[in-house]
Chains A and B, each alone.
Chain A
Amino acid sequence: MPPLEVWQKVLIKDKFLKKDVHADIGCIECHGGQPDTDDKDAAHEGMIKKVGADPAKTCGKCHVDYASAAQTNIHRLQTGYQTVLAHRGADFTDPTFATAYNNHCTGCHADCSDCHVSRPTALGGGLLSGHLFKKTASIWQTCGGCHSTRIADDYKGGHEDIPADIHWEKEGMLCSDCHADDASYHDGSHGGTRYEDPTAPTCIQCHEDVKPGDGVEQHDQEHLQNMACQTCHAAGAYKSCYGCHTGIDDKGIKYFASEPSQMTFKIGHNPIKSERHPWEWVLLRHAPTNKDLFAYYGDNLLPDFDAVPTWKFTTPHNVRAKTPQNQSCNNCHGQSDLFLTEQDVTPDERAANAPVIVAPDDIPKPVEGGS
């Protein structure tokens, strides 16, 4: 998505003024600033650029229920980050840790306006469409603007030699077609990570005819019970990120530095077994983290780092019916490269990943007579 020219980012369209009910409110009501001057600097004095950052005072004046729920939702509070860091021993009441977290982790949060009226900072910011409000977030500019290399690129086939997700290529499905009622947008009732959201979509909601005896050989009881759908239906590798060091440089500028990403495809044991995710075998992706994430700020700020695997449960968005690993039994059985083994994990992360690493003897044996 090319960045906009700076003037385009703040250009208001006639269509907004004529047709969007939000135009009736006037600029000052939400953005503040000084109405009685046409001097740029004077007019912008006291202006609030990002209005949605405080939903109760702006959007919430009309959209009471949405704004109230949005105060605590996962996009806004990043409860996913907080949950994982807490499991790793982070103490959010410790001023040192809180400073580190606020300096480096909160920039990715999204509020009302980030989805409905503007483009994310990762795409250079600016208005989505001349200040017109979009009821449904734009798949590539807003959802994909943040969830880019690990979702959007998979979904549209942006990685070399790996096809796009069939839901996009064949059906043109938008994010909201599956993630329609996610609590993660407007509801803050569930805590934890996105995988703990009871309203998150599942494949079976649409593909309810997938069951033993449906005519697909591998759809037997054992495979369906023990394997997440993506294990067989992810079309290929997806992006894993590694390392992340945070700090403040000698000019006082906050920064993070991560190691080069890699395209990986790894099957492992399920680290988040639950009623919603009951399978033994799932796909894993390396998260951009390490023990020294906040070492700049102090020692041992994540004392229980090994409590959570760095190879995390994942659901790549590059789904196809036919994939290299499901073309025959032995395209998967006996293919040790497809499985996360000890040699794939750096020594300092082996303890954290012990629950997901596949022992050589656990790799399914080749099927005799299997093609």
Chain B
Amino acid sequence: MNHRNRPSRKRGLWLAAALALIFLGALVIRPPAWATPLPAAQRVAHLQARAPMGAEASLQQASVDEQISAEGASHLTIQADTPNSDNCIACHTDKKKLKKLAKEPEEVKSEEASGEG
């Protein structure tokens, strides 16, 4: 009995292994959304957009928040609340522009002043 069943079991195992390989291959080529790690910032938006209401949802959100917190929640909070600084940075990193625009404040020094400070 045992000897007779072995070939069909082997065939089943090979078939299962082949199907598993095809499935994994498909994941690698085009992973589904749930298998793709999102950048933390996107993850917050993603979760907030579809967060259900209610106690269960709160628990789920809290759990996710804890996870994100460990990965840099303060970073995310600041980014979300901070006004855009692109204009400031564009000018203050541009040497040519700064050379043209930067002006020393007028020094106000009394003629009566003397000696070391």
List residues of chain A with CB under 8 Å of any chain B CB: 5-7, 9-14, 17, 24-29, 31, 33, 35-38, 40, 43, 62, 108, 122, 149, 241, 243-244, 247, 249, 251, 253-261, 288
Q: How distant is the Cα of A168 from the Cα of B11 in the complex, in angstroms?
A: 81
In chain B, residues 81-117, which have Cβ atoms closer than 8 Å to a Cβ of chain A? 81-93, 95, 98-99, 101-104, 108-117
User: Does A253 lie within 8 Å of B109, measured CB to CB?
Assistant: yes
A25 / chain B contacts, CB cutoff of 8 Å: 78, 82
| Complex contacts, A17 vs chain B, CB 8 Å | 89, 93
What residues of B have a CB within 8 angstroms of the CB of A10 in the complex?
92, 98, 102
Q: Does B46 contact A (CB under 8 A)?
A: no
List residues of B (8-39) whose CB comes within 8 Å of A's CBs. none
Quick check: A35 and B84 within 8 Å, CB to CB? yes
Contact B87 A257 (CB under 8 A): no
Within the complex, the shortest CB–CB distance from A341 to chain B, in Å, comes to: 26
Nearest B residue (CB) for A14: B93
Q: B114 touching A26 by the CB < 8 A rule?
A: no
With a cutoff of 8 Å between Cβ atoms, the chain A residues found around residue B115 in the complex are 241, 243-244, 256-261, 288
Judging by beta carbons under 8 Å apart, are B88 and A254 in contact?
Answer: no
A7 touches B98 (CB 8 A): yes
- Decide if the interface of chain A is mainly helix, strand, loop or mixed: mixed
Per the bound structure, the CA–CA distance linking A36 and B88 in Å amounts to: 10
CA distance A10 to B100 in the complex (A): 13
Given contact pairs A38-B90, A251-B110, A26 touches B102 in the complex (Cβ within 8 A):
no
**CB-nearest residue of chain A relative to B72?**
A24
Interface size class of B (residues with CB under 8 A): 20 to 34
* In-complex Cβ contact of B83 among A29, A259, A260 (8 A): A29
Given the interface contacts A7-B102, A29-B82, does A255 sit within 8 Å of B113 by beta carbon?
Answer: yes
> Roughly how many angstroms separate A254 CA and B88 CA in the complex, as a whole number?
34
Q: In whole Å, how far is A275's beta carbon from the nearest beta carbon of chain B?
A: 34
Smallest CB gap from B81: residue in A:
A29
The answer to whether A255 touches B112 (Cβ under 8 A) is yes
Q: Of A7, A29, A38, A253, which is within 8 A of B108 by CB?
A: A253
Is B43 on the interface with A (CB-CB < 8 A)? no
Q: Is residue B79 contacting chain A, with contact meaning CB distance below 8 A?
A: yes
Q: List 28 A-B contacts (CB under 8 A).
A: A5-B99, A7-B102, A10-B102, A11-B93, A11-B95, A12-B89, A13-B93, A17-B93, A26-B82, A26-B85, A27-B85, A27-B92, A28-B85, A35-B84, A35-B88, A36-B87, A38-B87, A43-B91, A241-B115, A244-B115, A247-B112, A253-B108, A255-B109, A256-B115, A257-B114, A258-B114, A258-B115, A258-B116
